[in-house]
Amino acid sequence: MERRFPVEGGRGWVSVREEGDRAVCLARFDDKGEGLYKAYLLGNGGRLDLGALLPGEEGLALKRNIPLERLRQAGVWPPVGAGVQLVSPARRGTPPPPPPPGWAREPRPQRLMGEELLAQCAGELRGALLRRGEEGFALAVPWVPGREFPLTPLFCFARVEELEGRSFAVFSFNRCGCPCLPHREGGVVEG
């Protein structure tokens, strides 16, 4: 027999299934990046922590096989409830410094791309900066020499520039989001 307990307003569940002399405990929880969560069982005689939920394909997850005798000793067999508890909130870093003059932070660069392949590649970019011009726009993406180059399909269209004390690969695009050569007269990069 399996018992399933919904947790945190529908964000997940904890289930317990008896298999011989053991209980199989499963937990699933919607991961919103808030920190470390642990699951627990409740019984008429106590509470037993099941452990930390780990990231998986379907959010946070946990699976434990526990001897029934241990659950009885802890006062949680048969279970009457379960839960998931935030035990260590995620540390939020300090906000990034303001972008360099003429640039703005662009959290979703894929929305600017005029081609599907470029939109897919740009969807994985983090820390991009945007500068608009009369002919189109420039997109600057952080780049560390020796690591994978951002927007690989546009490698030949890039110009490396230092912004915020770091190296950026800077790409020029026309108003439709199609790439332009960086040395083009009147382009956004050369301004």
Question: Whole-model pTM?
Answer: 0.50
Strands (E), the chain: 2-7, 12-19, 22-29, 35-43, 46-52, 54-56, 59-67, 79-89, 104-105, 129-132, 136-142, 159-163, 166-174, 179-180
The residues pairing with 179 across neighbouring beta strands, listed in sequence order, are: 173
Q: What's the pLDDT score for residue 186?
A: 43
**What is the mean pLDDT for each group of 10 consecutive residues in the chain (191 residues)?**
88 95 95 87 95 86 95 96 90 75 91 88 85 93 85 88 88 92 53 42
Q: What's the pLDDT score for residue 21?
A: 96
Q: What's the pLDDT score for residue 24?
A: 97
CA gap 36, 76 in Å, rounded? 23
Q: What's the pLDDT score for residue 183?
A: 58
